Amino acid sequence: MEFHRFYLLVILSILCSQSRAETTGSVFFIDSSSNQFFRKATDDVTKPDLILDTEAGAAVSVLLGFAPPSTLSAASSTKLNQILVPNPFNRPRAVFMLEVRGVDGLYSELLAKDNAISGSILSSKIAFGSEKSEIQLPAEDEVSVVSLDEPFADLTDKEISTFASWMGGVYDYDTAETLNGELIIPLANGANMKLHMSKKADREFTASLLSLVRNLRNAMDMHEDLSHGTRSPAELLTGSFDGIKILREQYRTEGSAQHGMELLLSTLSKIYNELQDAYKGQIVGVIFCSGEASMESSKMLDVSFAPQRSGRLLEENKLPRDTVLEVLLVRGILAWTTGIILLVSTLIGICFLFNMPLTRDTLLYSNVKLD
């Protein structure tokens, strides 16, 4: 009886550890507005209902123009074929990858709408394993990885007012007191998103949204510089957005988080159009959504580079110092001996040339006819 109870406890602990180890979410592949890099819903190919984080990382590597990892299984390769257009010569070589935390299935459905962001969207569930997956890339000189997580340290009322005008809203503030105004942005559903800068959660949400926009525009400027260079590396723009998680933790209401998600989608729609113009349609988006509001700040997918190939070290570097000195002495003696022999041979040859008789050589100067 005790053995069966112990066996049951072991099974339950294994199941509980597995349930805690895996996290599920949603992934959205946003195609280019002028080119097709992903499968469309009308294609006669079955779309995967669930993909793994390793498969998502392999898809990003292929989109950047690199081969998928050699450890990818046949089943995972089939899923990639169900997501990507099977044309190795048609890759964007630029990916905008964003992780949105604190977004459950209800809010992620807003992203799946056709008019949420310009370009067709292919969505699927994603499972994150116990060990963090990586996007495997070649050497750093072949791909440019741009971080979009630079914080907005110098948030001002002027910056917020400029953002409000860009989004078609207003920012009512008092010039006598900084960061104490009200930001009002109209949403697609007819409602208004109101954010009070005097509230910490609203201010942090606004700062995270403005930092995302500014970092993306800095990435566009960097792309302009790279496009004029002799080499054009692949570009990965990667970042995370915690604004929705901040609103959910602060207000504990679904309305605030939903309005925040709609404002994020409106902002992404406008900035994604700018990305398409800057990259001339050669960029796609990959957005991960997770409902875990208490998720750690570390990213779901890390980026790893292949180790640099270095020249082979001489074997004597691993030998004792005395042995190395003996080898160097022998090599030096052989080099000097060979040099002296060649020098003496050259001098002897020159002497024979100067002492040659001046008579005509019968073999060289005779008209020999070979039958």
pLDDT tens digits, one per residue of 43-100: 677 888 899 999 999 999 999 999 888 888 999 999 999 999 988 888 999 999 999 9
**Which one has a higher pLDDT value, 199 or 323?**
199
Tokens of 134: 């990586």
In the chain, alpha helices (H): 2-21, 53-63, 74-83, 105-111, 157-166, 200-227, 243-251, 254-278, 321-354, 362-365
**Which one has a higher pLDDT value, 184 or 134?**
184
Q: How confident is the model at residue 314 (pLDDT cuts 50, 70, 90)?
A: very low
Mean pLDDT of the chain: 81
Which residues have CB under 8 Å from 94's CB, separation 6+? 64, 223, 234, 235, 236, 237, 279, 282, 283, 284
Q: How confident is the model at residue 13 (pLDDT cuts 50, 70, 90)?
A: very low
pLDDT higher than 70, residue 260: yes
Q: What is the pLDDT of residue 293?
A: 47
Q: Which of 5-14, 308-317, 354-363 holds the top average pLDDT? A: 354-363
**Which one has a higher pLDDT value, 358 or 187?**
187
Q: Which residues pair with 23 in a beta bridge?
A: 128
pLDDT higher than 50, residue 16: no
Mean local confidence (pLDDT), 175-194 = 90
Return the percentage of the chain with pLDDT > 70, whole number. 77
What confidence tens digit (pLDDT) does each residue in 265-307 have? 999 999 999 999 999 999 999 999 887 644 444 567 888 887 7
Phi, psi angles (nearest 5°) of residue 285: -115, 140
Helix (H, G, I), strand (E, B) or coil at 177: coil
Q: What is the pLDDT of residue 6?
A: 40
Q: What is the pLDDT of residue 129?
A: 75
Q: What is the pLDDT of residue 188?
A: 84
Q: How confident is the model at residue 14 (pLDDT cuts 50, 70, 90)?
A: very low
Q: What is the pLDDT of residue 174?
A: 85
Q: What is the pLDDT of residue 175?
A: 82
**Which one has a higher pLDDT value, 163 or 225?**
163
Query: Nearest-CA neighbor of 161 among 175, 149, 150, 172?
Result: 172
Q: What is the pLDDT of residue 170?
A: 95
The single-letter code of the amino acid at 265 is L
- Beta strand 94-101 pairing with 284-290: parallel
Sheet of 234-241, strands arranged across: 50-52, 121-128, 23-30, 284-290, 94-101, 234-241, 143-147
Cβ-based burial of 329 (10 A; exposed 0-12, middle 13-18, buried ≥19):
exposed
Q: What is the pLDDT of residue 337?
A: 92
pLDDT higher than 70, residue 27: yes
Helix (H, G, I), strand (E, B) or coil at 273: helix
What confidence tens digit (pLDDT) does each residue in 316-366 have? 455 566 677 788 888 889 999 999 999 999 988 888 777 666 555 555 555
Mean local confidence (pLDDT), 251-270 = 87
Q: What is d(CA 309, CA 248) in angstroms, rounded to the nearest whole number? A: 47
Mean local confidence (pLDDT), 302-313 = 66
Tokens of 177: 């007191």
Q: What is d(CA 143, CA 195) in angstroms, rounded to the nearest whole number? A: 38
Q: Which residues pair with 288 in a beta bridge?
A: 27, 99
Q: What is d(CA 228, CA 224) in angstroms, rounded to the nearest whole number? A: 7
Query: Nearest-CA neighbor of 18 among 131, 125, 99, 103?
Result: 131
Q: Looking up tokens 């044309």, which residue turns up? A: 87
Mean local confidence (pLDDT), 239-244 = 92
Chain centroid offset of residue 168 CA: 32
